[in-house]
Structure 1
């Protein structure tokens, strides 16, 4: 592998369906050496205190549902049969349709013929249905039947699912904590006797030297897809304190994109672009992997799975290229980093009309137990993994053969997520990024706020469109104030005002 040094900091769609099909969280990373089948201890389940052992689970569609072989089905295979035996529950799994699942959820809830456990996608959908009284409040059930939830989810994420102080759904935990990092072609810097840049000034000097000596545009980026510009330029915007969508000023949230600091960031990027330091095709780029592979670029913000693909291709080409992630560069005030990965936007709920609420809660607790998590992570010893020196060892083929196991999680844990990354070869590209600075986006912890949520994508796209124009000289930066006015007229002011009604109360 060419990732020699990996001095990383770094920072969802959970990319790579087989890798992150469940979602992930904050349980401490690494893999456990205990992989026995799940038991029926008090930490695993309170089924013994539940009379009704029939539980139905309706989850969102996932492509792995189509990966069963032979006579295996979602309700009859070697893993789910163990879950039924050890939990003591006669559990039946069903799937929401691939398309129009939100509409189907509404129809099911209106019919009264509901499952005991239901997955709901989307923050706004969850809060709307909770407001309508479609879900059972979970607070008492958590105390009695779901003690594992307190160790499974950080309190802050649980609290983000509250409506009027009550919890109506368990957020589907996302274990992935980081996404992008600053990827560098170390062989190019070594050839020119350059050190890793640590500040914006260092970066500018490094890019200038590479441009002069190698005659390439050393910084490449993607701007051809909605949202891509923000991701590609995040580490540079962060040096001005505007790498996130919002920031706090005078005790209130403001859109970072409207601040004087954002204009400073755009001014610097315009300078880099005009001097040929930024790929002149960045605005239409949808993929930069080839440029990093071929050495026609030396730096880019790259997702960890893409870094794996780039490194693998470089090794196959044997062109002498080497890679590493470097710490995000710092601005004049020491500001740096990537935005932290978003918190869950899917929820596990118990419908108000569910027939077996206590059983549903106890089964959720069973799945959340560490014993069950280990079992679902690795499968059955001797078939799906082996143990060497006290550690579970699972090949890529073994992991892929039970890729559908993620259907039975109610979210992801660090050990499970990391084990799947390890089997697929991604872990050396993901794990080092965890050390790097991550900047909190406050709005991620807000409840559904229509004035903000319904306008956000439009406002982001409008900002990206104009940022590209400013950087490429197609719109004069003297019109930045006019851009701010246009942004607010499109709903920006109403959006941030609505968000601040929540933010100023929660502080």
Structure 2
């Protein structure tokens, strides 16, 4: 059995390190028997590794993203197996409150968790000198890190030429398309059903769909739309204009695939059209005003309340809410109408949507680093490296053969219906799928394993089809589709992707532009949405005056240069 095999191997060899999620503190609990063994790796040589004692140790991780429960990795099935292999456990702490405040407190005290995932505050952490360089550690203990990331690691280097953090993922093997869109305008299924499953392509059609349903159900206390604005997640409210104009997510810019020219949109006519649509919805009492004050947890709670008819967001950001609704509908099919359905909405039917991400480059401004507070950082890098072994990439995604997946005669991985039914959110948390789904060095979601199977369970076509309920298939059938992405346009080829991942130097004009732009949009967007319609144009005029003071042309020029550099690197 694979489990037993892995456990036997773990007693014979010291596997290398893997990735982490989030916690604070700086404990190194040394308990248990010590053994000597050499790290092993898959598809890589063991040259340069050293003997390390296998005493038990607990490291702390802080993850600058909210939405998960604090806990220890060894309290999950996956985490315990990885601890058996490496002797290492991680105590995870996730963000509560404001990210900049939390990171600022760490920097002021010069006290950090052993491992830090600072997310959008990574520049502040780097500037504070909180991360140790990883070059020597990777050279000694990171054969799998080098195998998976290869030359891409050079893209992560700081101005001094050193590597201070690891990216969260890298594309390995062939690219497997996602059967679900990266982002969408979402609507409750019951809304579509009552309307006769119309084809919704434009923002006007989407708003009309929601308004008509709400008008027929006035006594149910429904909310037409909510939007997320909390902290760095403000992009969920600010990004829609780029998608409505037919561009994929490149952060603050839209990149012309033909000319590679980058242009901003936050102060554009597209932004005005989007905000005016929300303003109109608000004037009819169907936009949730609390969207501008709610935190992330409150937002997720509202999405699972059955009261919200629609919203725009990226799937990864609302996956927890989607999973809760799906789990409930599996147990009680009468609740299926509260599930959300993704729609490829643009401003005009002549505009092709761009919500589905295709192959892209490495994200270079996000990652996980080992801090100056960490003792024995070699144990951490070994854990990361060990996690990148293919057998452990299978473990953290597919799980255990015979328990959470099977293999057919052709060597294809699959899940039985019984396994699919039992793997709900509660199971994901207990088994460890949730802890290990992101925030660790790993193969990218669209990657393949060496035997051709998809690394991600949901990316295996036969598994995705089996995971669909009868109601899923019925609704997809109404739109002549077998997967959700078949309703969307094919992804645009973007060798520069993601433009939002370009690294900006401290105090650079580009970083200052982004800071000022964020302050400006966070000041004016709420006013524009919540004002009476007759005041909208006046507020927009005030916003434009302030917008004109920004060096937007300089930012666009710099971003265009970075796009072209990235494209040239791939040639």
TM-score, scaled relative to structure 1: 0.63
2:254 aligned with 1:247: yes
2:373 aligned with 1:345: no
Output the CA distance in 2 between the equivalents of 1:212 and 1:42: 61
Output the CA distance in 2 between the equivalents of 1:21 and 1:365: 11
What residue is the counterpart of 1:366 in the other structure? 386
Match of 2:144 among 143, 148, 156: 148
Output the CA distance in 2 between the equivalents of 1:94 and 1:502: 38
Provide structure 1 residue ranges, at least 5 long, that are not aligned to the other structure.
1-19, 24-38, 85-90
Native 8 Å contact 2:44 2:143 kept in 1: no
What residue is the counterpart of 1:328 in the other structure? 344
Output the CA distance in 2 between the equivalents of 1:124 and 1:260: 31
Match of 2:274 among 265, 269, 274: 265
2:167 aligned with 1:171: yes
Provide structure 2 residue ranges, at least 5 long, that are not aligned to the other structure.
1-18, 23-37, 64-68, 96-101, 172-177, 446-453, 473-481, 565-571
Q: After TM superposition, give the deviation of residue 197 of structure 1 in Å.
A: 1.0
Distance 1:380 1:106, change over 3 A: farther
What residue is the counterpart of 2:133 in the other structure? 136
What residue is the counterpart of 2:527 in the other structure? 466
Match of 1:231 among 227, 232, 236: 236
Aligned residues: 444
For residues 276-355 of structure 1, the aligned pairs below 5 Å read 276=284, 279-285=285-291, 286=294, 298-301=309-312, 303-311=318-326, 316=332, 318=334, 321=337, 323=339, 325-332=341-348, 333-338=350-355, 343=363, 345-349=366-370
Q: After TM superposition, give the deviation of residue 220 of structure 1 in Å.
A: 2.0
Match of 1:222 among 220, 227, 235: 227
For residues 440-459 of structure 1, the aligned pairs below 5 Å read 442-450=499-507, 451-452=512-513, 454-455=515-516, 457-459=518-520
Structure 1, residues 462-495: CA drift from partner, whole Å, max 9, x if none? 242233145x427331442321223465xxx258
Native 8 Å contact 1:198 1:327 kept in 2: yes
Structure 1, residues 224-283: CA drift from partner, whole Å, max 9, x if none? 756777525855662235885333589765542212332233344445555x4xx53422
For residues 12-91 of structure 1, the aligned pairs below 5 Å read 22=21, 42-43=41-42, 46-47=45-46, 49-54=48-53, 58-61=59-62, 63-66=69-72, 79-81=82-84, 83-84=85-86
Structure 1, residues 257-311: CA drift from partner, whole Å, max 9, x if none? 212332233344445555x4xx534222556889888987654336343234345
Native 8 Å contact 2:148 2:170 kept in 1: no
Q: After TM superposition, give the deviation of residue 203 of structure 1 in Å.
A: 3.5
Q: After TM superposition, give the deviation of residue 213 of structure 1 in Å.
A: 6.0
Deviates more, 1:161-170 or 1:363-372: 161-170
Output the CA distance in 2 between the equivalents of 1:173 and 1:215: 46
Aligned-residue Cα RMSD (Å) equals 5.7
Output the CA distance in 2 between the equivalents of 1:212 and 1:101: 46
Higher relative contact order (CA 8 A, sep 6+): 1
